[in-house]
Amino acid sequence: MAPKVLISDELSPTAVQIFKDRGIDVTFEPTLGKDKEKLAAIIGNYDGLAVRSATKATEKIIAAATNLKVIGRAGIGVDNVDIKAATAKGIIVMNTPFGNSITTAEHAIAMMMALARQLPEADRSTQAGKWEKSRFMGVELFGKTLGVIGCGNIGSIVADRAIGLQMRVIAFDPFLSEERAVEIGVEKVELPALLQRADFITLHTPLTERTRNVLNASAFEQMRTGVRIINCARGGLVDEHALAAALKAGKVAGAALDVFEVEPAKENVLFGLPNVVCTPHLGAATSEAQENVALQIAEQMSDYLLKGAISNAVNFPSITAEEAPRLRPWVKLAEQLGLFAGQLTESSIKGIRLEYSGTVAELNVKPLTAAGVAGILRPLLSDAVNMVSATTTAKDRGIVVEETTRTQDGAFEGYMRLTVVTDDYERSVAGTVFSDGRPRIIQVRDINMEFETAPHMLFVRNSDKPGFIGNFGMLMGKAGLNIATLNLGRDKPGGDAICIVTLDEPMPEPVMNQVRSLPHVVRANRLAF
């Protein structure tokens, strides 16, 4: 059956056609997003939801989305999607960070120019029949210092355009490396230095708890008198009341804003102030950008639903269409290793280590780590844990997740080892994928053995003493339980031994207790995969 996608906002007809051409069953209802009740009533029928900004994918909507696998936001901002709720449910959330980058950057440059030369006020004055040439004394951009807060996709384009105008560009971005700063021609600085040196300040950062009101009263005090502020990123980055006070006091010479704390902005403390330029969130409002983001999100969602490829996800590592087939058996192995370890872990987990060796180390290991962590946590936290939510869930519980890669080490071309760290011990399990594409576990507790997982299994740890196998076999026979496979391993003669058994049906609890009572048995656990 073809995957089903619902488009609940206005989206280009070309995007609808892309879904159809890719074999997706698409429903186009561009006004549905405004009807929360109707959306909640039908969302359970769909595998994918494509939105712009009008649809609010709230916790309630996501709770009703019983089959939803992906939410695609045509645009960069995902404020209208409850990412935490989506992540907890294993729903991939995608955006299109590049589709409107140029358009938004150009709008920021246009706003800076309009602000520098007071163009909106001059236009209104002139069209009112006035000729106030002496009133509108602007400033040049040439030779001025532009401070860029957030130098990612959009910020770096703004910086490039500003350099073309022969401005000096300084940038504050915790994620901007010195090498990248040199490459794009900006000087990397800390925020206080930017505030003190910049003639113009433009913001290009997401709205988070750390960036909310990054330009507040304290920040304005640090700025040079006559600074001009441009915000085409997100409302809430600038404390609007503090900005209004700074404008009235003459500390800030002007401000250009495309975004506001409350939108639609029908009224605002900044409205009516001199040398304030306002536009109604037009950053991405060009015909080219609207078309680009629509086409991009249609392709991304189709690739995920049909091939398992993940791109521009805000809550999961990217997987290319080329990577997906190679990763699939290793993802399965990682999940199995995690399930194996999780079902045998009875102490509080402090850490999880994942080691990748040989050919698997050359792959994109982030999805493998997510699958392994999900496998470990699922027996402990129920089915609420999934690949998408696993690493976040682990972090929330104070579990440290580590991953390492190395070249080939040992007899296998590629293998992975998963280690669970508790207060009392460390336990490892390792596995590989054979040429037939089927995952195998190859080591348990540093004891070499080889087996495939199955729905009904039994783990027995015992002392390596004569009589165990005979007693165990007799017990299974008396209980009428058929042994499908039996794998044995030990660390040394007479030392610790492990027995992995595959059964045709679940082990009844009374028989389980009898196994635990057998001579030489240290531990016995049911396993299910």
CATH: 3.30.70.2520, 3.40.50.280, 3.40.50.720, 1.10.132.20. Which one for 101-278? 3.40.50.720
pLDDT of 411 = 67
User: How large is the C-alpha radius of gyration of the chain?
Assistant: 30
CB neighbour burial string for 364-383, b if at least 16 within 10 angstroms, e if fewer: bbebbbbbbbbbbbbbebee
**Cα 81 to Cα 86: distance, rounded to the nearest angstrom:** 8
For the chain, the first-to-last Cα distance in angstroms comes to 26
Task: State pLDDT tens for residues 158-174.
Answer: 999 999 999 999 999 98
Catalytic residue annotation: 234, 263, 281
Query: How many C-beta atoms lie closer than 10 Å to residue 296's C-beta?
Result: 24
The β-bridge relationship of strands 483-490 and 496-503 is: antiparallel
**Cα 500 to Cα 343: distance, rounded to the nearest angstrom:** 14
Task: State pLDDT tens for residues 194-228.
Answer: 999 999 999 999 887 889 999 999 999 999 999 99
- CA distances 502 to 92, 347, 453, 454, Å, are 35, 25, 8, 7
**Cα 91 to Cα 305: distance, rounded to the nearest angstrom:** 12
Tokens standing for residue 460: 């027995």
Q: Give SS3 for 105.
A: helix
**Cα 70 to Cα 147: distance, rounded to the nearest angstrom:** 37
**Cα 494 to Cα 465: distance, rounded to the nearest angstrom:** 6
**Cα 469 to Cα 497: distance, rounded to the nearest angstrom:** 11
**Cα 354 to Cα 303: distance, rounded to the nearest angstrom:** 28
Q: Give SS3 for 288.
A: helix
**Cα 235 to Cα 228: distance, rounded to the nearest angstrom:** 17
In contact, 203 and 156? CB cutoff 8 Å? no
**Cα 270 to Cα 310: distance, rounded to the nearest angstrom:** 41
Same fold, 4-99+288-307 and 101-278: yes
Query: How many C-beta atoms lie closer than 10 Å to residue 308's C-beta?
Result: 16
pLDDT of 210 = 84
Burial bucket for residue 510 (CB in 10 Å: 0-12, 13-18, 19+) = exposed
**Sheet with 439-444, edge to edge strand ranges:** 400-406, 349-358, 414-422, 426-433, 439-444, 447-451
- CA distances 350 to 306, 336, 392, Å, are 37, 20, 15
Tokens standing for residue 339: 């399930």
Residue 392 host element (H or E): helix 390-396
- CA distances 52 to 9, 56, 57, 61, 293, Å, are 6, 9, 11, 15, 9
**Cα 189 to Cα 100: distance, rounded to the nearest angstrom:** 27
Four-CA torsion 316, 320, 321, 322, nearest 10 degrees = -140
**Cα 517 to Cα 12: distance, rounded to the nearest angstrom:** 68
**Cα 256 to Cα 141: distance, rounded to the nearest angstrom:** 15
- CA distances 54 to 5, 30, 79, 439, Å, are 17, 9, 11, 44
Low-confidence ranges of the chain (pLDDT < 70): 382-384, 408-411
Domain positions in the chain: 4-99+288-307, 101-278, 322-453, 454-529
Beta bridge partners of 94: 72, 313
In contact, 369 and 403? CB cutoff 8 Å? yes
- Amino acid identity of residue 199, one-letter, is D
User: Which architecture, in CATH terms, is 4-99+288-307?
Assistant: 3-Layer(aba) Sandwich (3.40)
**Cα 42 to Cα 52: distance, rounded to the nearest angstrom:** 18
Q: Which long-range contacts (CB under 8 A, 24 or more apart) does 280-286 make?
A: 282/107, 282/258, 283/100, 283/103, 283/104, 283/107, 283/108, 283/232, 283/233, 283/258, 283/259, 284/75, 284/76, 284/100, 284/103, 284/104, 285/103, 285/107, 286/100, 286/103
pLDDT of 382 = 62
In contact, 222 and 198? CB cutoff 8 Å? no
User: Which architecture, in CATH terms, is 322-453?
Assistant: 2-Layer Sandwich (3.30)
User: Which architecture, in CATH terms, is 454-529?
Assistant: 2-Layer Sandwich (3.30)
Q: Give SS3 for 125.
A: helix
pLDDT of 310 = 92
